[in-house]
């Protein structure tokens, strides 16, 4: 199986083929996603919320990211594996940024990294790319700055904000990122940004005009039981199915209807007799 690469992403945009991405944090989920023609798997720092139970993504560490990126990489043959750089792993000088990005590649076995921000992180992005590591940008709503933004709201609604996003997108392309995630921006603006770039845009809550789409797998599978945003389409209710399975198991164990004959192993009668001398 041929691995999807950053060059594949670029070519897909040229060929007007939509790019699909989903997040994954573990081996079995990555395996299912990979086997079903998803082009890219993001080991998102959404890990903190949907898997580790944190309030937001600012608690996620490099160790958390490496641990989960390793598991996802082991379950992936075809999809491009992108690992998120967690909070503060790229705001402490370009040397640290390159080092941390490198760890996600060298230890995590990712093929690329993603980090949040526009022109304010340009030097970090350039340094990482210079080290031979492909970078994916992420603008619009950037959850690591949630305390500064003050809530999960749509970005780029004023002319000034919209212009800043367009300029950030262009600066990121200029710096050499291979794709840009546009999160929570008006569909019209995402379409304009998409048309002005030669690298693909991957939208989440950014309308149908992007070159590709990404969703948090726990959200679209209905596994994450918390409140989900309007842009999330639930393709399944896995959480409900899990609830049903768990409660049925409890009921059957209590009733003595599990395990049954077909779930049991048997000893030779000789062995059992021998036990009593």
Residue from the set 39, 45, 168, 211 that interacts with ligand KIV by CB under 6 A: 45
Where does this chain touch ligand KIV (CB under 6 A) — which range of 38-46, 97-105, 161-169, 259-267?
A: 38-46
Beta-carbon contacts of residue 186 (< 8 Å; ≥ 6 apart): 154, 156, 157, 206, 207
| Residue 168, binding choice from Na ion, ligand KIV, none, Cβ under 5 to 8 Å by partner class | none
Alpha carbon of residue 81 to chain centroid: 9
Radius of gyration for the alpha carbons in the chain, expressed in angstroms and rounded: 22
Question: Applying CB under 6 A, which part among 3-11, 39-47, 72-80, 161-169 lies near ligand KIV?
Answer: 39-47
Tell how strand 212-215 and strand 201-204 pair up. parallel
Q: By three-state DSSP, how is residue 201 classified?
A: strand
Q: Using the rule CB under 6 A, which residue among 171, 181, 185, 193 binds ligand KIV?
A: 181
Minimum CB distance to ligand KIV smaller for 34 or for 45 = 45
Q: Which is nearer to ligand KIV, 208 or 246 (CB)?
A: 208
Q: For residue 107, give every residue at least 6 positions away whose Cβ sits within 8 Å of its Cβ, in sequence order, or none.
A: 66, 69, 70
Residues sharing a CB contact under 8 Å with residue 19, sequence separation 6 or more, in sequence order: 9, 12, 13, 39, 40, 179, 200, 202, 211, 212, 213
Q: Is residue 204 close enough to count as binding ligand KIV by CB under 6 A?
A: yes
Is 46 among the residues that bind ligand KIV (CB under 6 A)?
yes
**Please, which residue, 87 or 103, has the CB nearer to ligand KIV?**
87
Give the span between the Cα atoms of 77 and 14, in whole angstroms.
24
- Beta strand residue intervals within the chain, DSSP E: 19-23, 40-43, 80-84, 112-114, 135-140, 179-183, 201-204, 212-215
Does the annotation flag 227 for ligand binding?
A: no
- Pick from 34, 64, 84, 124 the residue near ligand KIV by CB under 6 A: 84
Task: Say if residues 196 and 169 touch (Cβ distance below 8 Å).
Answer: yes
Question: Is 114 annotated among the ligand-binding residues?
Answer: yes
173 binds ligand KIV (CB under 6 A): no
Q: Vertex 218, ends 252 and 64: CA angle to 5°?
A: 105
Q: Which of ligand KIV, Na ion, none interacts with 48 (beta carbon under 5 to 8 A by kind)?
A: none
The minimum distance between CB 199 and Na ion, in angstroms, equals 19
Residue 68 exposure: Cα atoms within 13 Å on the Cβ side: 27
Q: What is the DSSP letter of 117?
A: B
Q: Which does 204 bind (CB under 5 to 8 A by kind): ligand KIV, Na ion, none?
A: ligand KIV
Interface positions with Na ion (CB under 5 A)? 44-45, 84
Rounded to the nearest 5 degrees, what angle is found at the Cα of 77, between the Cα atoms of 74 and 78?
140
Decide if 63 is catalytic. no
Q: Is residue 24 a contact point for ligand KIV (CB under 6 A)?
A: no
Residue 116 in marked binding region: yes
Given the rule CB under 6 A, which of 43-51, 170-178, 254-262, 268-276 is the region that contacts ligand KIV?
43-51
Provide the binding-site residues for ligand KIV, judged by CB under 6 A. 23, 42, 44-46, 84, 181, 183, 204, 214, 216
Catalytic residue positions, numbered = 183
- Report the binding-site residues for 3-methyl-2-oxobutanoate: 45-46, 84, 114
- Report the binding-site residues for Mg(2+): 45, 84, 116
């Amino acid at each position: 199986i041929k691995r999807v690469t950053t060059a594949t992403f670029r070519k897909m945009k040229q060929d007007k083929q939509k790019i699909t991405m989903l997040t994954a944090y573990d081996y079995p989920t990555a395996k299912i996603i990979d086997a079903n023609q998803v082009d890219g798997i993001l080991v998102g720092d959404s890990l903190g919320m949907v898997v580790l139970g944190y309030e937001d993504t600012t608690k996620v560490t490099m160790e958390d990211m490496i641990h989960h990126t390793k598991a996802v990489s082991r379950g992936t043959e075809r999809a491009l594996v992108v690992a998120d750089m967690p909070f503060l792993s790229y705001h402490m000088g370009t040397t640290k940024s390159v080092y941390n990005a490198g760890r996600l590649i060298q230890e995590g076995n990712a093929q690329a990294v993603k980090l949040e921000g526009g022109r304010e992180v340009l030097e970090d992005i350039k340094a990482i790319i210079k080290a031979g590591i492909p970078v994916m940008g992420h603008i619009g709503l950037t959850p690591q700055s949630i305390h500064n933004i003050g809530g999960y709201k749509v970005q780029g609604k004023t002319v000034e904000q919209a212009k800043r996003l367009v300029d950030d997108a262009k600066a990121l392309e200029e710096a050499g990122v291979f794709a840009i995630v546009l999160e929570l921006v008006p569909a019209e603006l995402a379409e304009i940004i998409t048309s002005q770039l030669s690298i693909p845009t991957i939208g989440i809550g950014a309308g149908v005009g992007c070159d590709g789409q990404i969703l948090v797998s726990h959200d679209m599978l209905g596994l994450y039981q918390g409140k989900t945003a309007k842009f999330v389409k639930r393709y399944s209710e896995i959480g409900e199915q899990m609830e049903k399975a768990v409660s049925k198991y409890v009921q059957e164990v209590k009733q003595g209807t599990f395990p049954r004959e077909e779930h049991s192993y048997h000893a030779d009668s000789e062995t059992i007799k021998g036990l009593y001398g």
